[in-house]
Amino acid sequence: MIEFQNVHFTYPDGKHETLCGVDLKIEEGSFVAVLGHNGSGKSTLAKHMNAILLPTEGRVLVDGIDTSDESRILEVRRRVGMVFQNPDNQIVANVVEEDVAFAPENLGVPSDEIRARVDAALKTVGMYEHRQHAPHLLSGGQKQRVAIAGVIAMQPEIIVLDEPTAMLDPQGRREVISTVTRLCREKGMTVVLITHHMEECVGADRLIIMSHGKIAADGTPGEVFSQVELMQREGLDVPETVRLCWDLNKEGFSLPLDTLDTQRCAEAIIG
Amino acid sequence: MLKDITLGQFFPGDTIAHRLDPRTKLILVLLYIVALFQATGWVGYGLVLLATAVCMAASHISPKNIFKGLKPMLFIIALTALLNIFYTTGTPIVPGWIITWEGLERAVKMMLRITLLIAGTFLLTYTTSPMALTDGLELLMNPLKKLHVPVHEMTIMMSMALRFIPTLIEETDKIMSAQKARGADFENGNLIQRAQALLPILVPLFVSAFRRADELAVAMESRCYHGGEGRTRMKQLHMAQRDWVALVCGVLFLAAVIVLKRFGL
Q: B58 and B102 share a domain?
A: yes
Neighbours of B96 (CB within 10 A): 5
Which range is least confidently modeled, A162-166, B7-11, B150-154? B7-11
CA atoms within 13 A on the CB side of A151: 33
Nearest to A143 by CA among B167, B193, B187: B167
> In terms of residue numbers, what domain contains B156?
141-231
What's residue A15's pLDDT? Answer: 82
Higher pLDDT, A27 or B61: A27
Among A89, A93, A115, beta carbon nearest to B131:
A93
Q: Which residues pair with A20 in a beta bridge?
A: A8
Q: B62 and B163 share a domain?
A: no
The structural domain count of chain A equals: 1
User: How far apart are the CA of A111 and the nearest CA of chain B, in angstroms?
Assistant: 5
Local confidence band at B2 (pLDDT 50, 70, 90 cut-offs): low
Helix H segments across chain B? 16-19, 22-38, 42-59, 63-70, 74-86, 101-127, 130-141, 151-181, 191-222, 241-262
Is 80 exceeded by the pLDDT of residue B90?
no
Interface of A with B in 43-62 (CB under 8 A): 50, 52
User: How far apart are the CA of B231 and the nearest CA of chain A, in angstroms?
Assistant: 5
Average pLDDT over residues B69-80: 85
Residue type, A19: L
The structural domain count of chain B equals: 2
Q: Is residue A88 part of a domain?
A: yes
A258 burial level (CB within 10 Å; 0-12, 13-18, 19+): middle
Nearest to A168 by CA among A200, A192, A190: A200
Among B129, B167, B215, beta carbon nearest to A84:
B215
Q: B89 and B209 share a domain?
A: no
- Residues of chain A contacting B131 with CB distance shorter than 8 Å: 93-95, 98
Give the chain A residue whose CA is nearest to the CA of B167.
A136
Q: Is residue A259 part of a domain?
A: no
Q: Are B135 and A101 in contact (CB under 8 A)?
A: no
A49 burial level (CB within 10 Å; 0-12, 13-18, 19+): buried
Between CA B235 and CA B249 the distance in angstroms is 26
pLDDT in tens, A237-252: 888 888 888 888 888 8
pLDDT in tens, B105-121: 888 888 989 989 988 88
Strands A57-62 and A65-66: antiparallel
Q: Dihedral (C-alpha) A217, A8, A68, A11: value to the nearest 10 degrees?
A: 110
Taking the model in full, what pTM does it have? 0.81
Is 80 exceeded by the pLDDT of residue B7?
no
- Residues of chain B contacting A50 with CB distance shorter than 8 Å: 222
Q: Is residue B44 part of a domain?
A: yes
Residues 6 or more apart in contact with residue B222 via CB below 8 angstroms:
A50, A52, A77, A81, A82, A84
Is 90 exceeded by the pLDDT of residue A256?
no
Q: Are B22 and B13 in contact (CB under 8 A)?
A: no
Q: B217 and B250 share a domain?
A: no
Nearest to B20 by CA among B246, B250, B233: B246
Interface test with B, best of A50, A53, A83, A89 (most B CBs within 10 A): A89
Between CA B148 and CA B132 the distance in angstroms is 23
Q: Is B160 an interface residue toward A (CB < 8 Å)? A: yes
Q: B159 and B200 share a domain?
A: yes
Average pLDDT over residues B166-178: 88
Is 80 exceeded by the pLDDT of residue A71?
yes
What's residue B28's pLDDT? Answer: 93
Q: Is residue B134 part of a domain?
A: no
Among A84, A94, A101, beta carbon nearest to B130:
A94
Neighbours of A247 (CB within 10 A): 12
Local confidence band at A121 (pLDDT 50, 70, 90 cut-offs): very high
Between CA A247 and CA A146 the distance in angstroms is 42
Q: B190 and B217 share a domain?
A: yes
Among A74, A93, A132, beta carbon nearest to B224:
A74
Share of chain B above pLDDT 70, in %: 97
Q: Are B130 and B159 in contact (CB under 8 A)?
A: yes
What's residue A262's pLDDT? Answer: 85
Average pLDDT over residues A43-65: 93
Q: B260 and B172 share a domain?
A: no
How is residue A198 annotated by DSSP? G
Given an 8 Å threshold on Cβ–Cβ distance, is B130 in contact with A92?
A: no
Q: Is B183 an interface residue toward A (CB < 8 Å)? A: no
Q: Is residue A29 part of a domain?
A: yes
Q: What is the CATH number of the domain that holds A53?
A: 3.40.50.300
Given an 8 Å threshold on Cβ–Cβ distance, is B219 in contact with A154?
A: no
Q: How many CB pairs under 8 A join A and B?
A: 99
Q: Is residue A152 part of a domain?
A: yes
Q: Is B224 an interface residue toward A (CB < 8 Å)? A: yes
- Residues of chain A contacting B220 with CB distance shorter than 8 Å: 92, 102
What's residue B212's pLDDT? Answer: 92
Is 90 exceeded by the pLDDT of residue B126?
no
Is 90 exceeded by the pLDDT of residue B96?
no
User: How far apart are the CA of A81 and the nearest CA of chain B, in angstroms?
Assistant: 7
The ipTM, to two decimals, is 0.88
Q: Are A119 and A169 in contact (CB under 8 A)?
A: no
Nearest to B113 by CA among B32, B2, B222: B32
What's residue B3's pLDDT? Answer: 53
Is 90 exceeded by the pLDDT of residue A194?
yes
- Residues of chain B contacting A109 with CB distance shorter than 8 Å: 232
User: How far apart are the CA of A115 and the nearest CA of chain B, in angstroms?
Assistant: 6
Higher pLDDT, A78 or B263: A78
Residues 6 or more apart in contact with residue B14 via CB below 8 angstroms:
none
Q: Is residue B136 part of a domain?
A: no
Given an 8 Å threshold on Cβ–Cβ distance, is A102 in contact with B218?
A: no
In degrees and rounded to multiples of 5, residue B165 shows phi and psi of: -60, -55
Residue type, A14: G
- Residues of chain B contacting A82 with CB distance shorter than 8 Å: 219, 222
Q: Is residue A254 part of a domain?
A: no
Local confidence band at A55 (pLDDT 50, 70, 90 cut-offs): very high
> In terms of residue numbers, what domain contains A70?
2-238
State the sign of the Cα–Cα–Cα–Cα dihedral B49, B55, B60, B61. negative
What is the residue-averaged pLDDT of chain A?
91
Q: Is B134 an interface residue toward A (CB < 8 Å)? A: no
Is 60 exceeded by the pLDDT of residue B4?
no
Q: Is residue A271 part of a domain?
A: no
What's residue B1's pLDDT? Answer: 44
Mapping DSSP to helix (H, G, I), strand (E, B) and coil, where does residue A162 land?
strand
Is 70 exceeded by the pLDDT of residue A215?
yes
How is residue A73 annotated by DSSP? H
Share of chain A above pLDDT 70, in %: 100
Among B131, B219, B232, beta carbon nearest to A114:
B232
CA angle in degrees (0–180, nearest 5) for B170-B72-B192 = 85
Nearest to A159 by CA among A182, A135, A175: A182
Q: Is residue A199 part of a domain?
A: yes
pLDDT in tens, A122-136: 999 999 999 988 888
Residue type, B87: Y
Average pLDDT over residues A89-93: 90
Local confidence band at B5 (pLDDT 50, 70, 90 cut-offs): low
Local confidence band at A178 (pLDDT 50, 70, 90 cut-offs): very high
Interface of A with B in 146-175 (CB under 8 A): 150-151, 154
Q: B163 and B224 share a domain?
A: yes
DSSP B139-156: HHHGGGGGGT--HHHHHH
Among A88, A97, A154, beta carbon nearest to B223:
A154
